[in-house]
Structure 1
Amino acid sequence: MKTFLWKMLPALALLLLFSSCDISNDDASFHFVTVPVQAVDMPESFTLNETYTIGVTLLIPNGCTSFEGFDVTSEGETIRRVIGIGTERDNIACTEAIEVVDSSFEFLCLYSGTYLFKFWTGQNEAGEPQFLEIEVPVTP
């Protein structure tokens, strides 16, 4: 019985290989978009090596967009750029209703000094990014 299974294993592997999913479809059903921040709930100060939950209120621009998470990037030791990320479904009719979503992310304070958070709030008339900047000192 064992020899039969060992002889059938390569055939099963080939069968799985040729019956796998077709990934050649280039028509994406969604694309990623930035979601503007409306408000932020931050502590007045941080303590070194402590973890904090940062509350964020975002504006979802239409019925085709779903909030997915945050892109938090470091600019040096104590500057953080925070951008809300959503997915927008393609090729469907969307409502134009704006939805307010509350979410949060975890932040670990690793450096002393003062942290500067830059939350993306949208673009101005010239197409330049706008940020809500919040400074939070680190206490000993």
Structure 2
Amino acid sequence: MKKVLMPFLLIMACSWFISCEVDDDSPNFYFTALNTVEAQMPESFEFGKTYDIEVTYQRPNGCTFFEGFNVSQTAETGREVVVVGSVLTDEDKVCTQALEEVVATLKFNVIYTKDYVFRFYAGDDEDGNPTFLEYTVPITETETTNQ
């Protein structure tokens, strides 16, 4: 038992002495909603298929990075989509202030046979109210053949 316990205690003691101390434990980033410029929607969806939807969004500076999409179901076939970014808040980092348009791909599975309505967050208006780009995508009937 001592043969097993001694190396473990030695490793624990060494790691305590070697461990680094971090004075600031506050987060160095925060999440934010990014403005959608446009979405390349197909003319129609086919039930049961998966589609790649190219979404163009605005990256406001060099310290903001794409994290993904927040997709909320607003009705059976209604979807509200927000492009989510993270903003670095390190004081030592210099951020470029150039506005850049970037494309990301949203994978979407068609699970209903009714038309889909997508609302992509496009920023806030002058009164601080959210604005959206809205797209309606109909479902096409798949042809079945009897053999």
- Aligned with 2:138: secondary structure? strand
Alignment map for 1:87-98 (pairs within 5 Å): 87-90=86-89, 91=91, 92-98=93-99
Relative to structure 1, is the Cα distance of residues 86 and 7 closer, same or farther in structure 2, using a 3 angstrom cutoff? same
- Aligned with 1:11: secondary structure? helix
Larger Rg: 2
Q: Percent identity?
A: 38
1:130 lines up with 2:131 in the alignment: yes
Gaps of 5+ in 1: none
Alignment map for 1:1-140 (pairs within 5 Å): 4=3, 6-8=4-6, 11=9, 25-90=24-89, 91=91, 92-140=93-141
CA–CA separation in structure 1 for the residues paired with 2:127 and 2:83: 21
Deviation digits for residues 90-124 of structure 1, max 9, x if unmatched?
12332220111111011000011110000000000
Q: CA RMSD in A?
A: 2.5
CA–CA separation in structure 1 for the residues paired with 2:140 and 2:114: 8
Structure 1 residue 74: deviation in Å?
Answer: 1.1
Structure 1 residue 71: deviation in Å?
Answer: 0.9
Structure 1 residue 27: deviation in Å?
Answer: 2.1
CA–CA separation in structure 1 for the residues paired with 2:102 and 2:78: 25
CA–CA separation in structure 2 for the residues paired with 1:106 and 1:42: 11
TM-score (norm: length of structure 1): 0.84
Structure 1 residue 65: deviation in Å?
Answer: 1.0
TM-score (norm: length of structure 2): 0.80
Structure 1 residue 75: deviation in Å?
Answer: 1.5
The number of aligned residues is 138
Deviation digits for residues 54-80 of structure 1, max 9, x if unmatched?
111111111221122111111122011
Relative to structure 1, is the Cα distance of residues 7 and 41 closer, same or farther in structure 2, using a 3 angstrom cutoff? same
Structure 1 residue 21: deviation in Å?
Answer: 7.7
CA–CA separation in structure 2 for the residues paired with 1:80 and 1:87: 22
Amino acid at match of 2:9: A
